[in-house]
Amino acid sequence: MPDNQPFVSSGNTADFFALEGHAVLALDGPDAIAFAQAQFANDVTALAIGQWQWNAWLTAKGRVIAVFALLRTADQALRLLLPDADAGELGDALRRFVFRRKVAIAARPELRAGGAFAAPAQARGATVAGDEQTSLELDYGAPGLPRTLRLSRASAPADAQAHEAWRASDLRLGLPRLPASQREQWTPQQLALDRLSAYSVKKGCYPGQEIVARTHFLGKAKRELLLLQVPDATEPGAEVNQSQRAIGSVVGAAGHAPRLALAVLPLERDEAPLTVAGGNAVVQPFVDGLAR
């Protein structure tokens, strides 16, 4: 990594565990930034070297395909940290839009994600610590829920219980986890991606931008994202019921005793109790502070 790139050293000695399902996709080349700016929902040109942001890729109809952390590791280099999508499949999909741009898109399976429930040693907010040759450290938490995510060539040990707790903490922080069944179903507003500052209504065109901007400026959002404590049997796609009728559905669920879920529900609803999977669903507060 060139000396003039503003990364800070990483010395976090917290206990890390493997974050299964996370993958890294690399965009490199003279047109990497321009290509990402034209495809992704957030303002990539505002991203400085050594910084990261939340971002999303949408369909032409404004539905979310993937939510990811986007790192700018060099002047002509971006890294997508994908919590749910297959890097190879997403790379193939993106290549269909490269045309004559000078950008190489490749999965980086040697970069493995690990998590720790501790504040980062050096990374703060949107500033990345370290480098790709050793490890990259990200501040993946909030003051009320500190977490560190590390990308490294070395594998962290598997810990199923810690991994499930991490997935539940994603939901507490308002980070949607999108299994295959939930992709291309929801708009950024329905997934409350504004909580993460994950999309822009001021940048130029990108797939779905017109629908996102129209919803924003005309105030036509009719549904919202809620965090619910739900029965352990709850799975993504489950109906959320009120007064014996379905009014919404579960986007993602994680954890056990308690199990948490993110669900999209109408803004206008009555005060009757919510139920899902045959049991009560109780609204919980989000933990603020994950926006980047």
CA gap 43, 50 in Å, rounded: 16
Query: How confident is the model at residue 12, as a pLDDT?
Result: 56
Mean pLDDT within 161-165:
97
* Per-residue CA distances from 286 to 18, 21, 193 (Å): 25, 24, 13
pTM comes to 0.93
Is there a contact between 284 and 227 (Cβ–Cβ < 8 Å)? yes
Mean pLDDT taken over the chain:
94
CA gap 255, 58 in Å, rounded: 28
CA gap 238, 235 in Å, rounded: 6
CA gap 42, 201 in Å, rounded: 8
Q: pLDDT confidence of 220, banded at 50, 70, 90?
A: confident
Does residue 59 carry a pLDDT above 90?
yes
Query: How confident is the model at residue 13, as a pLDDT?
Result: 54
Mean pLDDT within 27-50:
98
- What long-range pairs does 180-183 form, CB within 8 A, spacing at least 24? 181/236, 181/237, 182/236, 182/237, 182/251, 182/252, 183/64, 183/65, 183/66, 183/85
Mean pLDDT within 85-97:
97
